[in-house]
């Protein structure tokens, strides 16, 4: 009898401990982590060269890039980002470096604007999330919609292109 009660307690604890909202609209999932929306931004010059590649003349290094938002009091809150190298998805090679961030928890608030500073030029970013809020559907830079990759890589991540 004690073993039976102990087994019930363990099952109850595991059931309660592993429930959390999932990415697809709030349904219950197992103990897998929840992944929020991520942004992959390719920054090119007018000649189509990758400005996040340090070999490109006039390219941007991470210390020349700043990404932040403002809280309700107007204070600057840094948004963590990184520079990801080119990658391969299946047979398709993706040749560009990307500014990457998944630090978009603040987007649930009314003011979903972030700021991107490249050298001394400041850009205003806003995004539109998909219906399940786990993918970025549209990216607006200075209120203009940016180009989104529509190739095979789009089934893996949402990549946007910004020409500076």
Interior/surface letters 42-59, b for 16+ CB within 10 angstroms, e for the rest: bbbeeeeebbbbeeeeeb
Q: Do 126 and 89 share a structural domain?
A: yes
Q: Do 78 and 12 share a structural domain?
A: no
**So what's the pLDDT on residue 32?**
56
Hey, which residues does 163 pair with through a beta bridge? 44
Is the predicted pLDDT of residue 142 greater than 50, yes or no? yes
Mean pLDDT for the stretch of residues 132-140: 83
Give the domain range for residue 16.
1-33
Q: Do 21 and 48 share a structural domain?
A: no
Q: Do 14 and 60 share a structural domain?
A: no
Q: Do 29 and 49 share a structural domain?
A: no
Q: Do 107 and 97 share a structural domain?
A: yes
Tokens 């991520």, residue located: 38
Q: Do 105 and 28 share a structural domain?
A: no
**So what's the pLDDT on residue 1?**
79
Q: Do 133 and 52 share a structural domain?
A: yes
Q: Do 28 and 51 share a structural domain?
A: no
Could you report the per-residue pLDDT of 43-81, keeping only the tens digit for each? 999 999 999 998 999 899 999 999 999 888 889 999 999
Could you report the per-residue pLDDT of 80-125, keeping only the tens digit for each? 999 999 988 778 888 999 999 988 766 555 567 899 999 999 999 9
Hey, which residues does 156 pair with through a beta bridge? none
Question: Cα separations (Å) of 61 from 9, 57, 118, 130, 149?
Answer: 54, 11, 9, 31, 23
**So what's the pLDDT on residue 131?**
74
| Structural domains of the chain, count | 2
Question: Can you give the pTM of this predicted structure?
Answer: 0.76
**So what's the pLDDT on residue 34?**
60
């Amino acid at each position: 009898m004690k073993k039976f009660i102990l087994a019930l307690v363990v099952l109850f604890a595991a059931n309660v401990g592993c429930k959390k909202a999932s990415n697809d609209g709030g349904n219950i999932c197992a103990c897998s982590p929840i992944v929020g929306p991520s942004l992959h931004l390719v920054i090119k010059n007018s000649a189509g060269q990758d400005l996040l590649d340090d070999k490109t003349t006039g390219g941007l290094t991470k210390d020349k890039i700043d990404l932040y938002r403002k809280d309700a009091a107007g204070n600057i809150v840094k948004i963590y980002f990184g520079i990801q190298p080119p990658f391969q998805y299946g047979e398709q090679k993706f040749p560009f470096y990307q500014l990457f961030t998944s630090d978009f928890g603040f987007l649930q608030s009314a003011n979903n604007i972030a700021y991107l500073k490249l050298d001394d030029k400041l850009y205003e970013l806003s995004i539109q999330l998909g219906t399940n809020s786990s993918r970025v559907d549209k990216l607006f830079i200075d209120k203009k919609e940016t180009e989104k990759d529509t190739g095979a890589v789009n089934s893996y991540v949402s990549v946007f292109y910004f020409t500076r």
